[in-house]
Amino acid sequence: MIDIKLIRENRDLVKENIKKKFQDEKLPLVDEVFELDKTVREVQVKADGLKANKNKLSGEIGKLMKEGKKEEAEEIKKEIAKTGDEIVSLEKQQEELTNEIRQKMMVIPQIIDDTVPIGKDDSENVEVQRFGEPVVPSYEIPYHADIIEAVKGMDKDAAGRTSGQGFYYLLGDIARLHEAMIAYGRDYMIDHGFTYAIPPFMIHSDVVTGVMSFPEMEAMMYKIEGEDLYLIGTSEHSMIGKFKDQILKKEELPIHMTSYSPCFRKEGGSHGLEERGLYRVHQFEKQEMIVICEPEESMDWYNKMWNFTVEIFRNMDIPVRQLECCSGDLADLKVKSCDIEAWSPRQQKYFEVASCSNLGDAQARRLGIREKGEKGTYYLHTLNNTVVATPRGLIALIENNYQEDGSIKIPKVLQPYMGGKEKIEIQK
């Protein structure tokens, strides 16, 4: 949610930003908010005038009573009561108008960074750089589900019986490898100064709307029937929500935390071959990182954060690339975002395994996360990034470490988490 001062002082900037995001249907909202805000301030001035007059009249009553002018005092009391009713009516009107403004402001997108490439959708995202050589081996790389089944590492049929499509059992060394990736990502972030956390896996609706836009919420979140609780789609939701309505001290900043959680999403499975695999699922696990910092530091943190993910994947022998998200692919709360995509030697293309986002003060403004310092009280900036998410990260690891004999080489950084094991072999 942007600062309403932008609409008061520079409507053209806000409209131009909407156009850059190819959301022209939202352009009328800017003028609507401008007029509503003007009305709210007029109502406020009128209410303040009535309150001042009421206080003045109240002061006269005692004086009139002392002078024995009871009838005049009673008339003033009636006038005070009438004024009080007007004030209540104006305050109710102001509250209704303020709520209407907030609803419209929640839909107006955040001002994107000047460096964001302009494009309509994810097809116009821009490759920035590659890390590691994307290799296609001389032997065939099977579909990841077939590789995993060959080492007896997955049972989707049983999960279909217990839970339906989009769920899975991971078994044996594959389950262990999955956890090794999460544990390595956790320890890497701890070694880089991040505080480890395990957050609540359910959050209230006011936290959900504080961290994401309504369309995202509807598309992603599972609601607990009969309760004001949602299953989290990522631990960023509850981690940023942890600081809701908090005024932080300068010496506490920046806050940098890494969190583990299962994640739950209404993500539908794709058709055909992909339904057998782990690419699109309703439940997965993830190690996340979040930062809350001074506004002038957020871009530095943004660059640090996505680089952490690159290094983690390169340490697991997985080639990756950074893909800059264009304006039309940015969610409304984001100032700047990039995806880290892993190389798939089977498909001979890259696919998304992580996403890093700078949300400016959008989440902080919605949730009331502020700092009180020498410059007064102001909203902080929030950022989030995937450390490693499975099973997508697991797919990338398996494909890039698949050997011609059907075994899976375990990267050195993960071997300590696998009891020293160097590879996972086919089970007959």
Domain count, the chain: 2
pLDDT band at 245 (very low <50, low <70, confident <90, very high): very high
The predicted model gives 129-143 an average pLDDT of: 95
* % of residues, the chain, pLDDT over 90: 81
Residues 355, 403 share a domain: yes
The structure's pTM equals 0.89
Residues 49, 138 share a domain: no
Residues 95, 129 share a domain: no
pLDDT band at 269 (very low <50, low <70, confident <90, very high): very low
Structure-model confidence comparison of residues 235 and 65, the more confident one: 235
Round the average pLDDT of the chain to a whole number and report it: 93
Closest CA to 312 of 155, 165, 223, 191: 191
Residues 81, 142 share a domain: no
Residue 117 lies in a domain: no
Answer yes or no: is pLDDT of 273 > 60: no
CATH number reported for the structural domain that contains residue 62 in this entry: 1.10.287.40
* Residue span of the structural domain in which 14 resides: 4-105
Contacts of 282 (CB under 8 A, 6+ apart): 166, 167, 264, 265, 266, 267
Render pLDDT for 176-197 as a digit per residue (tens, 0 to 9): 999 999 999 999 999 999 999 9
pLDDT band at 274 (very low <50, low <70, confident <90, very high): low
Render pLDDT for 324-375 as a digit per residue (tens, 0 to 9): 999 999 999 999 999 999 999 999 999 999 999 999 999 999 999 999 988 7
Residues 377, 290 share a domain: yes
Residues 216, 72 share a domain: no
Render pLDDT for 23-61 as a digit per residue (tens, 0 to 9): 999 999 999 999 999 999 999 999 999 988 888 887 777
CATH number reported for the structural domain that contains residue 313 in this entry: 3.30.930.10
pLDDT score at 357: 97
